[in-house]
Structure formats: structure tokens, C-alpha cells
Amino acid sequence: MRLAVFVILLMFAFFIILFVSGCLQQPRPNCIDKDNDGFGSANLQYCPSSEIDCDDANPNVHPGMAEKCNSIDDDCDGTIDEGCECIEGETKQCGYSDIGICKYGIQRCVNGSWSECEGAIMPQKEICENGIDEDCDGSDAPCSECGEVVLDRCRCGTEIVESGYCCNGVPSQTPCGSTSRDAIEILRTFPLEDNWQREELEECYYFGHITNTENLITSFLFINPELLCRYTPMYGWDTTSLVKAAFCVYKKGQAPDVYSFPRGAAPKVIETPNYTIYIFQPCTPEEFNNIPFMSRLISELENMSGSSKT
């Protein structure tokens, strides 16, 4: 009986010892590394590295990680995006303006640095009076008055020219006062005024009829639809006619005989150094000679060195 009680007590003591021993023993702690990148956020003494992971939910963020320009402290050094000019994917406007031909462009953030400006149109050299604002200042610059020698785009009289010469407001391709100034050039560029119109033709027109075009170089028809003049009755026209004049240019020495024209159509003749010019017009000579525009044009032709008139 005593032996049985002793055994029971012994077994009870053994279980007490086991229970107490189990409660006192603590399990060995582990490294807390939730993103399994080798850097923990607690129990660092049990981690591969003793440096703390500042974001244990992101395996791409831990000490020693290369810093990216993404608004995140990738290397856990307490500083965000050090050395970055911009954030990846960010854009910004660039360029000069959006006035005239200019347009803004876009810069993009690539690897922490701004790219070149894409799509921008920058100011260019201004070309005067062409309807375009190349230098992006908000206006098309007016052309300056030409000097005698045209070095750049400028205004000569009523015309805009880019080369040659400007002789008293008349564009020219030969030096002013030159004896070789071309009569065709005068007819082609002489400044128009009032309601005068000019048309260069390949045939010589005698008031609607083609006449004597053999050896013709070119012809110019000048018309003023607002101006009337009296005709010479023997020509058989109406009592009045629109003022018009055909300047038919032949190479010197190759013009047709003036007597080959129809009766009453004999032209006024101007001999220049290189050409013979026949002028057909419906007005009486008195009225035609008193038309200021025609008087100035014919005088310009007659004043060429070596010119003569008949």
C-alpha cells in the first residue's frame, strides 16, 4: 500500500517537473522578413543582414538597392530620389512660345533625366512682308526701303525684291544708269498705278487681232478699264475707247516693216540698244501723249542710252 502511494507521488512529481520545464522554455525567435529579400524589419540579429528593411512589403526596397527616380526611398537611406532631376514618366512643356510659327514641345523624364525637347518649333530669321511671323514676335516685319544695290529682301517702289538693283523706285537686274539696262525689264517691272493692268503675251495684239508676230520676242498689253479716250475717226472705231496699249518687242533689225500694218494701224516706234518696240494704241496721238502713266513709261524707254523714237 505504501509502495503504491509512493509510486503515485513519484509519477505526479515527474509530470509537475515536465510541465514546469515546458512553460519555462521559449522557442528560438526568427528573422522577420516578410518580403523575403534578405533584409528584415525585426529580430535583425537572426537575419542575413543587420540593416533594417524600411519597406518589408516590397522586395525591391532594401538597403543597398539602386536608387530609382520613382518617389520611393529604394535604398532605405532616408533620402528619396537623390541625384534625380525628375520622376520617371514625368513630362513638361518646353520650347520658345506658341506665337507665329513657333510651337511648344515636350520633355520626358527618362532614367531620372530630362530628354531633349521633342516637337518644338523655334524662332527663325524673319522674312519681311510675306504674311508669316518667323521670329515669333507677334507680327510680320515690314520691309525696309531698298538701297540702289539690293542685298536682301526689301521694298523698291511698290514691289518687294530680293536681288538686283532699285533705280528710283523701279526694280532692275542691271546697275542703275547702265547703258545695258533691258527694255523688256522696264516693261515687265515698271510700277503700275491707279487702275492700270499689265499682261505679258506671246503674241502681238492689235486691238484684239494678232498681227505681225514673226520675230516677236514678247509683248506687253497695258489696259486701264477706268479710262476712256477719243479714237481717230479714220480707224473706224467707236467715238471712245478704253485706254490700252500693246508694246510689241522685236529683236533689233528683225522687226516687220511699219508699212506692212493695216491702214491707220502704223505703230509708234521706239528703238532701244537691243530691241525695236512697236506701240499700238487706239487714242489720238494728242490724248495718248497726255496720259501721265504712258508718258512716264515711254519716257523711261526713250531715255535708255542709244534709244531713238519715230
CA distance 274 to 179: 11
The ranges assigned to domains in the chain are 32-84, 91-137, 143-178, 197-309
pLDDT at 80: 85
**Amino acid 178: pLDDT:** 60
The stretches in the chain having pLDDT less than 50 are 20, 22-26, 234-235, 237, 305
pTM above 0.75, yes or no: no
Q: What is the pLDDT of residues 176-198, one digit of tens each?
A: 766 555 789 889 988 888 789 99
The per-residue pLDDT for range 231-246, each reduced to its tens digit, is 755 445 456 778 888 9
pLDDT score of 175 = 74
For residue 24, the model assigns a pLDDT of 43
- Please give the pLDDT value at position 209: 61
